[in-house]
Amino acid sequence: MTAPSLAPGKPCPHCGKPAVEKYKPFCCARCADVDLNRWLSGVYAIPVEEDGEENAKPGDASQDERS
């Protein structure tokens, strides 16, 4: 069995070791699982700006009333 090829120049975002093609962009299943756990537990979050009524477009209010 041959070793998985390494992705040149891209380190694993979790531990910094060279990434492996099979788990790209990670180096192993463990680092991929750690990253997935961080997303699922809410450690990582994508910020969202909530629009207030003053930023709403004129057509938006009528769509909300139909719901």
Range of the domain at 28: 18-42
Instruction: Report if residue 1 sits inside a domain.
Output: no
User: What amino acid is encoded at 46 in this protein?
Assistant: I
By three-state DSSP, how is residue 64 classified? helix
d(CA 59, CA 40): 35
Mean pLDDT, range 9-21, rounded to an integer? 92
Mean pLDDT, range 2-29, rounded to an integer? 83
Residue 45: predicted pLDDT: 86
Between 8 and 35, the more confident residue is 35
What is the reported pTM?
A: 0.56
Tally of domains in the chain:
1
How far apart, in Å, are the Cα atoms of 43 and each of 3, 13, 28, 35?
A: 33, 15, 20, 10
Instruction: Report if residue 24 sits inside a domain.
Output: yes
Residue 6: predicted pLDDT: 46
Instruction: Report if residue 35 sits inside a domain.
Output: yes
Instruction: Report if residue 23 sits inside a domain.
Output: yes
Instruction: Report if residue 12 sits inside a domain.
Output: no
Instruction: Report if residue 47 sits inside a domain.
Output: no
Cis peptide before 13 (omega within 30 of 0): no
